Every structure is written in structure tokens, then in C-alpha cells.
Chain A
Amino acid sequence: MLVSKVSRAGILMLRGLSRGKLTPITRAGYIQRPYGQYLQPWFERQTETKVFQGSIFLKHHSFSTTTTANASEEGSEKEETISVTFVDKDGEEQHIKVPIGMSMLEAAHENDIELEGACEGSLACSTCHVIVMDMEYYNKLEDPADEENDMLDLAFGLTETSRLGCQVIAKPELDGIRLAIPAATRNFAVDGYVPKPH
């Protein structure tokens, strides 16, 4: 049972790697191929970007981790992970699987999604600000506490369905949630953008 699961994961990883989509990053920031060799980052421009991202947006020790095999495994049990889509400021979508109980900030960092987290989830900044793109999903979230609202006050590009990514915790009802990362350079002031309900 375990062997078939591992080999299935291995095949998926190889398939993912050949498609150029999957680049499992170890904490050291080097690309690790399934056959265990470490490649010089300078040879591959595309992977160097990912290595760089891995080293700059490094996994935080305080967060719980999932193995990359888990994150990449398809056909995952719905009770264990949910599907989340991040939409970056250029409109590009990234579909990831997030284990129940993990925050969206952690999940973004585990998947090299560019979401800032200056205070590493301590409710002392607003840099992990995300916009819940569908009102239906926004309403499934628990109301923000005073402390989160205090930080949301300062978020750039604040909307009616804005939340801090470190406070949105994966639960089954959020399966399929779409989160937009606000454009950074659009403005320096809080504006009143309202998302269209889907």
C-alpha cells in the first residue's frame, strides 16, 4: 500500500518535473531532483528564479509543513486538503491544495506564491492581504477579530471582501475558494474597489 503510494507520488513528481510545473524546493533553496542530485542554479535561468524565490520567500520554521508529495498528489482526500486558487496581480492563476488547518499565508509560501508576510502571521502587519473573490466564500469565513480589522485598516487596495491571508484557515467549506493578491503599485491610499459576486 505504502509502496504503491510512494511510487505513484514519484511518477507524479517526474511527470510534473518534465512538464516544468513542479519544482520541489528544499529548505536550502536548491532544486532537488528525484534522483537526488543537486544542480547548479546558474545553469537554468528559469529554475534559478524559482531557487531565488525559494531562498528569499523562505519557508518559515514556525509554520507546520506538508511534504511536497502531499501537496502535489492528485485525487487527494477532500477531508485532508481543499482546492485554493490564487490569482496574482497580473491575473495569473495558481491552483494549489491546502491541508485543513493551514493558513492561506503558509499555503502560499509552501507553493512559492508571492504573498508577503512581513510579521510572519502575528497580526502586526497587513502585507498578507488577500481579496476573497466570491462573496459566497467570504461569508463562510468567521468575522475578523478587532486585531485583524485593525491591520486591515492599513491594507493597500482594501475591499469589502478583504482578509489577512494568515487569518484565513483552510476548512472543508472553503474548497474552491479563489483569492486575489492585490496589485501593489496601483495606489497608496485605501480605495473602495468592490468585487463582483460570481
Chain B
Amino acid sequence: MAIFQARTWLSRSFSTLSSHPLRVCVVGSGPAGFYTAEKMLKAHQEAQVDIIDRLPTPFGLVRSGVAPDHPETKIVINQFSRVARHDRCSFFGNVTLGSSVSLLELRELYHVVVLAYGAESDRALGIPGEDLVGIHSAREFVWWYNGHPDCKNLDLDLKNTDTAVILGQGNVALDVARILLRPATELATTDIASHALAALEESSIRKVYLVGRRGPVQAACTAKELREVLGIKDLCIHLQEADLLKTPKDEEEIKNNRIQRRVYELLSKAATTGPSHPRSGQRELHFVFFRKPDRFLESDERRGHVSGVHFEKTVLKDVGDGKRVAVGTGQFEDLECGMVLKSIGYKSVPVDGLPFDHQKGVVPNIRGRVLHDTSGDPTLLEEGLYVCGWLKRGPTGIIATNLYCAEETVVSISEDLNLLASKASLPKPGREGLLHLLDNRKVKFVQFSAWEKIDSTETRLGSLKNKPREKLTTWEELLKVARE
């Protein structure tokens, strides 16, 4: 006890002796936020780092994006938890940028604000029929099966059709296909949300199409995920051999790219092992290439519902710089289906007071330093404001990509702070100021210890069902347990 008191006294006197401890706020508690916080704590020994998130639960897409049957990918949560428990770090859940606190207020409270809140919206196709019932973004579907409280009540009907069309062939598309096609019994022992498991157990979907605008050489998925989906028990894989023909340009693309080479090899092996005659009721996965969605077709029997997708066949065309894009050929083809999942990319959402490049869907920045506008002028910087993760780079990459992204942003911050040190920098209210503001606004923030209550409740409930956890999937439940 005496040691603890001595420590607190020492740390306080150390703080007053030093020239104003650095106050940092990270907005977003996914990989970008946590890697940034970890590196800031390490690079600045007196820095106090606060991480805010609009959800009561931390970890961003590690919790709400990584598929339930990929538990090893979630192990990084252990590292992030150690950061959150660091004595110079505090987590504030249920605090929303824009409503609980504005960007302007954060910049007044903290010396450094790093926005790492990712991409919570979707790219749109902008084609007719996109509003038909039965068409969803993959992001919504993923949030639904992962128990994200914003998608608990997603209007999903897995019983009206036997066919789903997925637009896109990246890893998210493969995840979604796999969750639709895996036997529900295999999913029952994962941390999948119980409402999703129940729906999947009654699902009538037996055929899934994964449709890409370009060819197998350009498929955006990676080997591990492809291997996994090709290995699903009792699943019949369909691939047109003709699609696998490679042009000299394709050969060159493959030669220089290990990922694409190995993906192509897996796809060609799948085509040659070919489908035997499918037994009735056996599930099917079709890889369709060189098809671009032109419009969605509306059902005659169920008005307002999607009944298929009208595709235009494509070829790859050289557009200079070694790049090739898919262009329409004027030939069309329809695929019947009762459900469409668009897996064509996420998109970030701007907030008041934040410069935003609507074309690229990111915050204009140079190495993480936020720029005043999209002109590209590097001298017009928003002082003290930084970005990291998808908000900075666009919605691509893996969890580890944020490791390097955070390092770059933290280097930029440190360089800027070194420059500032030569002029006197004012103290900022930091955490105390934030607490005061949240208290005035009656915001019921969720501290990390409160998340730990949610965590142990979910784990305990999960153990009753042979699952690693049973997620709480409504705002009410989450906040209630947090406040116990």
C-alpha cells in the first residue's frame, strides 16, 4: 500500500517537474488505434493516451469483422488488452466522435488527436435496383453474424431462396460465402452470434456465386482463405476452365506476384479436380469471372424483392502504366438469386470539422499528418491532428498492415513534437478535461474494467453452450452489464 502511494506521489511530482505531460487522444479502438496507442506510449515516456470508441466494446473489426471460425486471428486482442491496461492508457467506450464530443473539443483537450475510426460505410455500385430487398453489403452481413449491436435486427431472409450471389472475390467475400455454406453444426462451437446461428440453421441457401469483374489472376483473396473455402466438407466447387486461360500479360502479373501466383494455382487445381455430379441437397460454390453487374432484377411474385442480377461480360483492357481494367463487351447474362451481398469495399464516414477526400473516401494526409484540404499542398497542415488505419490509407490490408501504418503516423507525430518543444507548448486538460465534459453531457462511458465485465459475462454464457463466448448483441445488454 505504501509503495502504491509512493508511486502515485512520485508520478505526480514527476509530471509537474516535466514540462506538461503529453496528452494524446486516439479515436477508434481497432488495430490502428491500439497499435498507435502502443507506439505512442513507448515513444513518449510521459504521454498519457486515451482511446475512445463509440461502441462499449473495444477492438473494432477484430471483434466485429474477423469471422467466428477464425479464432486465432483474434489472439492479438491479448496484446491490445495489455496496452489498454497500461497505467498511462485509458479506454473510454460508448463515446462517439461528433455527438458525445466534437473533433474541435478533442483538439482543445489534447495535444495530439489521432483519428483511427476506420470505415463504417460501403462503396455503392450506383446501378438500378440497388435498393431492392434482399441486397445487403457484406459489411452488414458480417456485423450481423458477429453480433454487432447496429446489425442485430438486419432484415435478412435466408429462407426465401436457395441461391446467394456475392459481388467481389476478396477475403471478406470468401468469409461470407464460407459462413453461408459451412454446416451450421460446425459454426455452433464458435463465437458466432446466436441469432445468426439460428438463422443459418434454418437457411435454405445451397448455392453461392462469387462473382468478379476480372479473372482468376486478379482475384483479390489470399491463399489461406481460398484453401479453406475449397476444403469445406461436401461442397461442390464450380469453375470454368475457360476462365483460367492466361494471356501473356496475366503470366507477367503472376510471375512478379507471389500472392496472386499461389491463388491462381489453387483455383486451377480446383477446376481440374472438378465437380462430380452434385447429389441433391449438396451445397455448391461457383466462381464466376469476367462479369460486371449492370442492374438488379426485381421479382414479379414478390414486388420490391431482388430476383437476380443482370451481368455484362467483360474483358481486360490495358489503360497504361501496366494497369488493366475490366470493360464491358455488350454481351449480357443473368444469374437468378434471392439474396445479393455486395463485397466491393468499405468506405469511411467524414465528421464535422474534418477535411475529407470524398473521391478516395479517406482523410487527406501525408504520412498520417492531416492536410487542410485535398489540394495536396503539404504546407497546409491541421496541427495536432493525425490519422491512422483505413481512414488514412483506404479500406485495404490485414491487421498487421496497421502495425506499419501506426509506426509511420507515430514517427510523424514525434517529429512534429520535437519541433514544438523548441517553442513553449501549453498544458492541455487531457483526460481530466474529457471526464469533465462527458460528465456534463451525462455520457455513460465504459472503462476498460467495465468491458472486462462484459468479456467475462460473454465467456461465462459461452461456456454453457460449448462456445468460446456468447456475445451480447444489443446496446441495452452491453451497457447494463458494463454498469453492474
Residues in chain A within 8 A of chain B (CB atoms): 38, 40, 42, 45, 48-49, 52-53, 55-56, 58, 116, 118-120, 122-127, 146-147, 149-151, 153-154, 156, 158, 184-185, 188, 190
**Listed residue (A40, A42, A52, A119) with the most chain B CB atoms within 10 angstroms of its CB:** A119
Contact A56/B403 with A40-B10, A118-B76, A123-B72 known, Cβ cut-off 8 Å: no
B42 neighbours in A (Cβ, 8 Å) = 52-53, 56
Question: Would A118 and B79 count as touching, CB distance under 8 A?
Answer: yes
Question: Would B72 and A185 count as touching, CB distance under 8 A?
Answer: no
Q: How many residues of B contact A (CB 8 A)?
A: 40
Question: Would A125 and B82 count as touching, CB distance under 8 A?
Answer: no
Contact A126/B411 with A42-B14, A119-B73, A151-B224 known, Cβ cut-off 8 Å: no
Within residues 160 to 175 of chain B, which ones have a CB less than 8 A from any CB in chain A?
A: none
B403 neighbours in A (Cβ, 8 Å) = 116, 118, 127, 184
Question: Would B404 and A42 count as touching, CB distance under 8 A?
Answer: no
A119 neighbours in B (Cβ, 8 Å) = 72-73, 75-76
Q: A48-B45, A56-B86, A188-B397 are in contact. List 5 more A-B contacts (CB 8 A).
A: A124-B72, A125-B76, A146-B223, A147-B224, A150-B227
Q: Could you tell me the dominant secondary structure of chain A's interface residues?
A: loop
Question: Would B223 and A150 count as touching, CB distance under 8 A?
Answer: yes
Question: Would A188 and B404 count as touching, CB distance under 8 A?
Answer: yes
Contact A154/B400 with A55-B82, A56-B82 known, Cβ cut-off 8 Å: yes
CB distance from A4 to the nearest CB of B (A): 35
Question: Would B41 and A153 count as touching, CB distance under 8 A?
Answer: no
Within residues 73 to 106 of chain B, which ones have a CB less than 8 A from any CB in chain A?
A: 73, 75-76, 78-79, 82-83, 86
Name the CB-closest residue of A to B406: A184
Question: Would B73 and A125 count as touching, CB distance under 8 A?
Answer: yes
CB distance from B293 to the nearest CB of A (A): 29
Bound CA–CA A190/B70 (angstroms): 24
Question: Would A156 and B411 count as touching, CB distance under 8 A?
Answer: no
B437 neighbours in A (Cβ, 8 Å) = none
Question: Would A154 and B222 count as touching, CB distance under 8 A?
Answer: yes
B408 neighbours in A (Cβ, 8 Å) = 185
CB distance from A85 to the nearest CB of B (A): 23
Bound CA–CA A154/B220 (angstroms): 13
Within residues 364 to 384 of chain B, which ones have a CB less than 8 A from any CB in chain A?
A: none
- B6 on the interface (CB 8 Å rule)? yes
Partner of B399, one of A49, A118, A188: A118
Question: Would A156 and B75 count as touching, CB distance under 8 A?
Answer: no
Bound CA–CA A154/B401 (angstroms): 9
B393 neighbours in A (Cβ, 8 Å) = 188
CB distance from B51 to the nearest CB of A (A): 15
Bound CA–CA A94/B79 (angstroms): 24
Question: Would B258 and A118 count as touching, CB distance under 8 A?
Answer: no
A-B contact pairs, 14 of them (CB 8 A): A48-B45, A49-B45, A52-B45, A56-B38, A56-B82, A56-B83, A118-B399, A124-B70, A153-B259, A156-B404, A184-B404, A185-B407, A188-B397, A190-B258
A125 neighbours in B (Cβ, 8 Å) = 73, 76, 398-400
Question: Would A149 and B75 count as touching, CB distance under 8 A?
Answer: no
A188 neighbours in B (Cβ, 8 Å) = 393, 397, 401, 404-405
B195 neighbours in A (Cβ, 8 Å) = none
A42 neighbours in B (Cβ, 8 Å) = 7, 10-11, 14
Bound CA–CA A151/B400 (angstroms): 11
The 5 A-B residue pairs whose C-beta atoms are closest, nearest first, are A124-B72, A122-B72, A150-B224, A118-B76, A150-B223
Bound CA–CA A14/B36 (angstroms): 37
Name the CB-closest residue of A to B88: A52
Name the CB-closest residue of B to A120: B75
Bound CA–CA A86/B405 (angstroms): 24
Bound CA–CA A127/B406 (angstroms): 14
Question: Would A150 and B76 count as touching, CB distance under 8 A?
Answer: no
A123 neighbours in B (Cβ, 8 Å) = 72
Bound CA–CA A126/B258 (angstroms): 15
Bound CA–CA A68/B405 (angstroms): 34
A40 neighbours in B (Cβ, 8 Å) = 3, 6-7, 10
Name the CB-closest residue of B to A156: B404
Question: Would B400 and A153 count as touching, CB distance under 8 A?
Answer: no
- B453 on the interface (CB 8 Å rule)? no
Name the CB-closest residue of A to B225: A150
Bound CA–CA A40/B42 (angstroms): 18
Question: Would B227 and A124 count as touching, CB distance under 8 A?
Answer: no
Name the CB-closest residue of A to B393: A188
- B262 on the interface (CB 8 Å rule)? yes
Interface flags for B306-329 (1: CB within 8 Å of A; 0: not) read 000000000000000000000000
Bound CA–CA A37/B222 (angstroms): 52
Question: Would B223 and A153 count as touching, CB distance under 8 A?
Answer: yes
Question: Would A149 and B262 count as touching, CB distance under 8 A?
Answer: yes
